[in-house]
């Protein structure tokens, strides 16, 4: 068993951290790619349970021709009154590659689910989360936080140690990704599955409806893409060769 507080230079990435890191990387890239395709088919986001081309959107993304309102005809109201729900027939040809897009998304989703489950269980039972990932209360002072933030903003990045000796902001970023963003993506994904919410309607309640879950799914995906971009910058700035060796074959020199 490793000691409670290992000396910073003795610790390296374990095999399960390295393998799950790269499996999650592959599945994340596939999820982002297929997720973008799925979003292009209906690039409009809403809050609540219902949202469609005949309703106002919270956010409309001009990433495919499908966002345009043109091509609806023969309006008919379902009831009397000025704000009565209506129906219209869609006449324009839409972009839609969801036949493979959705299946690829779910394939990558399963990959993420299994790799994520292994990572979370191992992280808990080996003490990795406790020792390396979760920021200590004593670290979380405003002063230390401000100092680390200033260092990052002025690109004074610590040299790589080749192991899990993380800085404060780094811990906070990894903590958010591991315990908030990825679990949030999985749960909002489940909330978009009609068979799952039939058995577990609390998911719809928790996220405020199907379309809210879809919008949160998108916002968390944006946050994760931004995290990956920052992560890559930090890997480069802290010593790309050493970091890559540490996360693959392993670092020779401590």
Binding site for another protein (CB under 8 A): 38-39, 41-42, 44, 49-55, 66, 72, 74, 76, 78-79, 85-90, 94, 96, 98-100, 102-104, 106-110, 114, 192-199, 201, 204, 210-211, 214
Q: Which tokens go with 123?
A: 């992280």
Q: How far is the CB of 91 from another protein (least distance, A)?
A: 8
Q: How far is the CB of 123 from another protein (least distance, A)?
A: 18
Q: How far is the CB of 72 from another protein (least distance, A)?
A: 8
Q: Nearer to another protein by C-beta: 134 or 187?
A: 187
C-alpha distances in Å from residue 251, one per residue of 14, 122, 245: 11, 21, 6
Q: Do the Cβ atoms of 152 and 171 come closer than 8 Å? A: no
Nearest partner of 203 among 215, 189, 223, 182, judged by Cα: 189
Nearest partner of 251 among 166, 163, 164, 167, judged by Cα: 163
Q: Nearer to another protein by C-beta: 175 or 190?
A: 190
Nearest partner of 29 among 119, 109, 103, judged by Cα: 109
Q: How far is the CB of 219 from another protein (least distance, A)?
A: 15
What number of residues does the chain have? 254
Q: Nearer to another protein by C-beta: 96 or 126?
A: 96
Q: How far is the CB of 84 from another protein (least distance, A)?
A: 9
Q: Nearer to another protein by C-beta: 14 or 98?
A: 98
DSSP string, 132-166: IISPPGGG--HHHHHHHHHHHHTT-PPPP-SSS--
Beta-carbon contacts of 123 under 8 Å, excluding residues fewer than 6 positions away, are 129, 133, 178
Q: Nearer to another protein by C-beta: 161 or 188?
A: 188
Q: Nearer to another protein by C-beta: 39 or 168?
A: 39
Q: Which tokens go with 210?
A: 């199907």
Q: How far is the CB of 58 from another protein (least distance, A)?
A: 13
């Amino acid at each position: 068993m490793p000691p409670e507080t290992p000396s910073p230079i003795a610790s390296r990435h374990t095999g399960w951290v390295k393998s799950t890191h790269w499996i999650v990387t592959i599945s994340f890239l596939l999820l982002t790619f297929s997720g973008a395709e799925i979003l292009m088919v209906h690039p409009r986001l809403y809050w609540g349970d219902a949202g469609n081309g005949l309703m106002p959107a919270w956010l409309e993304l001009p990433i495919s021709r499908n966002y345009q309102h043109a091509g609806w005809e023969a309006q008919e109201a379902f009831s009397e009154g000025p704000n009565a729900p209506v129906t219209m027939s869609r006449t324009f040809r839409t972009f839609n590659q969801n036949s493979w897009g959705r299946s690829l998304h779910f394939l990558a989703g399963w990959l993420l689910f299994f790799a994520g489950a292994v990572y979370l269980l191992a992280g808990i039972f080996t003490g990795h989360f406790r020792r390396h990932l979760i920021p200590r209360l004593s670290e979380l002072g405003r002063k230390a936080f401000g100092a680390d933030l200033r260092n990052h903003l002025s690109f004074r990045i610590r040299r790589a140690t080749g192991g899990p000796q993380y800085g404060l902001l780094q811990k906070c970023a990894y903590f958010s990704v591991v315990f908030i963003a990825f679990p949030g993506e999985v749960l909002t994904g489940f909330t978009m599955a009609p068979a799952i919410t039939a058995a577990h309607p609390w998911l719809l309640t928790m996220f405020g409806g199907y379309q809210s879950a879809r919008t949160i799914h998108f916002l968390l995906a944006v946050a994760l893409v931004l995290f990956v971009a920052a992560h890559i910058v930090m890997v480069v700035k802290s010593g790309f060769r050493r970091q890559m060796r540490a996360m693959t074959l392993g670092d020779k020199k401590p």
